[in-house]
């Protein structure tokens, strides 16, 4: 029986494991991600920021906040996802009350973080430049984030914090 279209499972499942960046680079780059977060708050919000707990390397980014933003990005060699989570109270830090304005600013915050990461020579030495997509914001939801190793942590501003996570892996080429 002909199915017209045939789906192929990537024949080399090992490629996924080999593409995992966790054991190779992410622990080394941990501080790049956290320092970039502090710089992003400084540049974008003009406010001082601090890291109180060490950022950690995880098998998959975990987020559950009132507002969650995800932004994908890719190059020919790598694909990645940025996740940002904040509580509703965070709108006071941004100085806005309107939800659409809050979401807009959160998107620009993500855009800024991405740009500053691409300006970091240590990051680009390993991964090169990845182009970001348009951000997606979820409200009161937990998006299903892919099982890709990443670095995540919190950056504190006044009494609130922003959660940031960045997961990255090599592009997996599966012929269809």
Partner 1 sequence: MSNTVIVIDDSIFLIKQIVDFFEKQLNFQVVATGNDGNDAVELYKKYKPDLITLDITMPNKDGIEALREILSTDPDAKVLMISAVRGSAMLECMDEGAKGYVEKPLKFNDSEFVKDFKESIKDIFCN
Segment interacting with partner 1, rule: CB under 8 A, options 15-23, 51-59, 115-123, 148-156: 115-123
Asked if 48 contacts 42 with a C-beta cutoff of 8 angstroms, the reply is: yes
CB of 174 to partner 1, least distance (A): 25
Question: Cβ distance 25 to 126 under 8 Å?
Answer: yes
Q: Is 72 in the site for partner 1 (CB under 8 A)?
A: no
Shortest approach of partner 1 to residue 84 CB, angstroms? Answer: 15
User: Least Å distance between CB 130 and partner 1?
Assistant: 8
101 binds partner 1 (CB under 8 A): yes
CA distance readout (Å), 99 to 16, 134, 158: 39, 18, 21
Nearer to partner 1, 58 or 112 (CB): 112
Structure tokens at 102: 């809050």
- Two tokens, residue 67: 């507002």
**For residues 130-149, which are near partner 1 according to CB under 8 A?**
131-134
Interface with partner 1 (CB under 8 A), residue from 12, 28, 119, 158? 119
Exposure pattern of 68-78 as b/e (b: 16+ CB <10 Å)?
Answer: bbbbbbeeeeb
Of 65 and 114, CB closest to partner 1: 114
Could you tell me how many residues of this chain bind partner 1 (CB under 8 A)?
Answer: 23
Q: Is 129 in the site for partner 1 (CB under 8 A)?
A: yes
Site string for partner 1, 21-50 (x = CB under 8 A): -------------------x--xx-x----
| CA 78 to mean position of chain CA atoms | 13
The residues that touch partner 1, with contacts defined as CB under 8 A, are: 40, 43-44, 46, 100-101, 104-105, 107-108, 111-112, 114-116, 118-119, 128-129, 131-134
């Amino acid at each position: 029986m002909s199915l017209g279209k045939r789906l192929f499972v990537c024949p080399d499942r090992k490629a996924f494991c080999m593409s995992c960046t966790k054991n190779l680079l992410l622990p080394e780059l941990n501080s790049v991600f956290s320092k970039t977060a502090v710089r992003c708050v400084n540049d974008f919000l003009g406010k001082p920021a601090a890291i109180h707990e060490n950022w950690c390397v995880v098998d998959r980014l975990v987020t559950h906040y009132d507002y969650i933003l995800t932004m994908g990005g890719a190059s020919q060699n790598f694909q990645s996802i940025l996740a940002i989570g904040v509580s509703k109270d965070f709108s006071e830090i941004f100085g806005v009350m309107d939800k659409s304005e809050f979401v807009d600013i959160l998107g620009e915050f993500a855009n800024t973080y991405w740009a500053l990461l691409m300006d970091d020579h240590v990051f680009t030495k390993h991964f090169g430049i990845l182009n970001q997509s348009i951000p997606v914001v979820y409200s009161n939801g937990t998006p299903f984030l892919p099982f890709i190793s990443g670095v995540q942590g919190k950056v504190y501003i006044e009494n609130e914090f922003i959660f940031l996570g960045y997961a990255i892996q090599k592009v997996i080429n599966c012929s269809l």
